[in-house]
Amino acid sequence: MDATTLKEIEETLAQLTLEEKISLLAGKDFWRTVPLPEKQIPSIKVSDGPSGARGDTFSGGQKAAFFPSGILMGATFNPELAYETGELLSEEVRAKSASVLLAPTACCHRSPLGGRNFESYSEDPLLSGKMASGYIRGVQSRGIAATMKHFVANEQETWRLYVDETIDETTLREIYLKPFEIAMREGQPWAIMTAYNIINGVHCDSHPLTLKQVLRGEWNYEGLVMSDWFGCNSMVESLLAGLDLEMPGPARKRPIKEFVEAAEKDESVRKAIDDSARRILTLIAKVGKWKDMTPEAPEYSRNDPETGKLIRRAGGEGTVLLKNEGKTLPLQPGSLKKVAFIGPNAKATVAGGGGSANLEPNYLTQPYETFVTAIKEINGDIEVPWVQGCIIDRWVPNIDVEGGFCRVGGPDSEAGLFLEWFRGYEATGEPVATTVFKTSNAFLWDSRPTSISPSEEFSVRFSGQISVPEDGKYNISLSTITASKLYLNGELLIDNWDFKERGNLMMNVGSEEVVKTIELKKGEWYPILVHNSSIWPKDSPRDPPMEEIGALGIRLGVAPVYDNAVLIAEAADAVKDADAVVIVVGLNNEWESESYDRSDTKLPNNQDDLIEEIAKVNQNVIVVNQSGAPVDMPWAENSNVKAIVQAWYAGQEAGHVIADVLLGKQNPSGKLPLTFPIKVQDNPSYLYFPGRDQKVEYTEKLMVGYRYYDTENVQTRFPFGYGLSYSTFSIGEPSLSTAELTEGQTFTANVDVSNTSNVAGAEVVQLYVKRPASTSSIKRPVKELKGFKKVHLGTGETATANITVDDKSLGIWSTEAGKWVVEAGDYEVLIGTSSVQDELKPAGKITVKAAWSWI
């Protein structure tokens, strides 16, 4: 930022009254900062999130590009690709008239059960930090601020607003702060978002160690720090720790009158107010909005073809080929007559996980349709039958609005459901506002008309007409945040007015799903209406933030009743004569989401049974798994399961990505950014996740992920860093640029990588370090990832991978000294293509003759 702008910021700050400065320290509304027009200070808008720019409407808003989830990007081991993704994400943010993107999520995976694992990159802090850094630099290269989150140690969703985590300082610094430190140094994000959780008794938004000592002090961070939404827990304490902005607005913990009184009594508070106000003004300038009082433009959807191409390419780079016996993949359509395509996700559009990472996609692609189109272009005579196999819905699916089974007013009217807002609890009279929703999942926490105060009585009607494709029994479901009733054909079907239990829907504030089963007939249109009032049921657990903002929420589901045992039997019978069977299984945004964790790592709803039954009758089974975290694979060693593809969540191009990989249009080059244990009980955090009585101890300390499995020799299903390819590679003998390291120096490992096949591909060279015996009081891993390089090679091509490691990468935190220390001794450097010890090649030893330390 130029000197003139810096001077103008100081001049503007000097002109502000104390009240005006304080007004800047909390949001204006859900997604905007407070403007001061008379002082030429504009409001800037923020937008979720990690998988794309959703805009200012949580559900039913403008469409946006749906990018791959963080875990898939982590599997690419390619920070340059993260940079490219960030560049295009910045354009998406601009299309939503926003200036700040609430991403990336840089937290490490502590447990495979973490509900939000899909959103972040890895169990390893180095990989997480490098990927986050690339993403941040890409976003900010085009003038949009990235917001790295959630600072810090946000590894679980259970009790997320108030779980108290006991973490020793060494573990906190070396595992959970480390990705933020790396990205801070290499990416320099313009904003940081604090986490909800408590660490060692103190909320993250006011934590003196992480915020004041480390972030503001040791790292000298001068950017903006904002709270997670409703995650500001104090007025003065959070300010003095370094939290600049309470979100969302209007202020809850930072009322102007009380803040003024506190400032008038304490000079340190006044100085902190100035510092935070300055940082907010600086961010406004960084994103190009300084003194720009132009009215906010309407949001729009870019739907840019080049963005789609990048998403598709990234999907292939992050897809991990876990098994490929007999070169089953890629499929050779010319030699096949019949390929069965089955499974619960085969015809599903599984793009990402749930929560704030979700959005209204420009489009979605499903595996079966894209596969059929692609394979028939090669062999028009091939048969590709589809069989359901089983259903994996956690809740009754949303009404199929886009499929033509839901209309605002009948068969010839607009597709969707009609939402009307009313004053009063009864939803009668003239509506205050109306809109048409293209989904039956209406989370109304940010769309209440501004003319209705959250403190007054109000209600909505959500109505339309539905039809069904076949005669039969159907489940109709309802979940809401507040009191509601559902009417079908004018008759009360579900009374949810005085519900008592809350479930996982709508960020854990929705009621438990209520389901009724009735007979419906094809060709008939059934009027459906939900009356949802702002009354909070008296015996139901309340949610103060949602109550304060006047949040409503409605989720309607309609789906036929099914029996998985019958569906599995039908599938097994249908695939007996197929040359190959592709089974697409996994999870979706109902099973992996913000606001709740998984209870186990099993594939839900009989999917393992489906795979095993298919493998009994067909000897050429290919399993494609879509999930954002490890799942059990008890069938992985089955000789009839020839290939396994870990496809993660690839965004709007997920269907194309799966088809590309199966047919060899893309050569999968992903590596596992986390360990797949044989069973969840093998994970080191298992006995202490998510804890008890809203408390959790990080008893595994540094032994997170592969660090534990390698150190304790625990067998895994698939190890960290592992992934196959359609190419074959050979790794030469590695060498080191130096045999000795002193403070301020680096060393480089060099190794030739050759593509020994006739298929172009990419290999990830990984550098691990085994440190000398330590004087540290904490048990240390046998080895740790300290560098990596992805090398793209044509057929028969050889290139040299150069991996440079700086002196600070060898440091460990000494609690005794209160410093980072590089201990004297010999450090063994190992090179390979996964973390498997027996497959790593020694590159040599780096000797540190004299220790050094730093803060």
User: What does the pLDDT look like over 718-758, one tens digit per residue?
Assistant: 999 999 999 999 999 999 999 999 999 999 999 999 999 99
Write down the pLDDT at residue 598. 97
The model's confidence at residue 825, banded by pLDDT at 50, 70 and 90, is very high
Task: Give the SS3 label for residue 425.
Answer: coil
Q: What is the mean pLDDT of the chain?
A: 97
- pLDDT, residue 617, reads 98
**CA–CA gap between residue 421 and residue 450 (Å, rounded):** 11
What is the spatial distance between Cα 388 and Cα 759, in angstroms, rounded to a whole number? 34
**Spatial separation of the C-alpha atoms in residues 673 and 551, rounded to whole Å:** 37
Looking at residue 411, its pLDDT comes to 82
Q: Where in the chain is the domain with CATH 2.60.120.260?
A: 401-560
| Domain limits, CATH 3.40.50.1700, in the chain | 314-391+564-674
Which band of pLDDT confidence, cut at 50, 70 and 90, is reported for residue 777?
confident
C-alpha 802/C-alpha 328 separation (Å) is: 33
pLDDT at residue 701 above 90? yes
CATH 3.20.20.300 range(s) for the chain read 42-248
Tell me which of 124, 164, 205, 228 is the catalytic residue. 228
pLDDT exceeds cutoff 90 at 412: no
| CA dist., res. 793 & res. 816, Å (int) | 47
Q: What is the pLDDT of residue 400?
A: 87
Q: How far apart are CA 767 and CA 782, in angstroms?
A: 14
Does pLDDT of 776 surpass 80?
Answer: no
pLDDT at 774: 75
Instruction: Tell me which CATH code domain 314-391+564-674 carries.
Output: 3.40.50.1700
Tokens 């370090």 correspond to what residue? 769
When pLDDT is averaged across residues 105-115 and rounded to a whole number, the result is 98
Residues 674-686 have a mean pLDDT of 97
CATH superfamily for domain 401-560: Galactose-binding domain-like (2.60.120.260)
Assigned CATH topology for domain 42-248: TIM Barrel (3.20.20)
Task: Name the nearest CA neighbour of 228 among 242, 247, 255.
Answer: 247
pLDDT at 410: 74
H or E element that contains 478:
strand 472-480
Boundaries of CATH 2.60.40.10 in the chain?
A: 717-854
What pLDDT shows up at residue 289?
97
pLDDT (0 to 100) of residue 212: 97
Q: What are phi and psi of 321, to 5 degrees?
A: -85, 110
Higher pLDDT, 447 or 787: 787
Q: Please give the average per-residue pLDDT across 463-472, as a whole number.
A: 96
Using DSSP's 3-state secondary structure scheme, residue 300 falls into coil
What interhelical angle do 79-95 and 305-318 show, nearest 10?
A: 150
Q: What integer pLDDT is reported at residue 797 of this predicted model?
A: 98
pLDDT tens readout for residues 782-818: 999 999 999 999 999 999 999 999 999 999 999 999 9
- Please tell me the total number of residues recorded for the chain in this structure: 855
Quote the pTM value. Answer: 0.97
Assign 147 to helix, strand or coil: strand
Topology annotation, domain 717-854:
Immunoglobulin-like (2.60.40)
CB 237 within 8 A of CB 206: yes
* Active-site residue flag, 228: yes
| Of residues 38, 71, 26, the one with CA closest to residue 231 | 26
Q: Which residue has the tokens 């909005």?
A: 289
Sheet holding 164-166, edge to edge: 202-203, 198-199, 164-166, 695-697
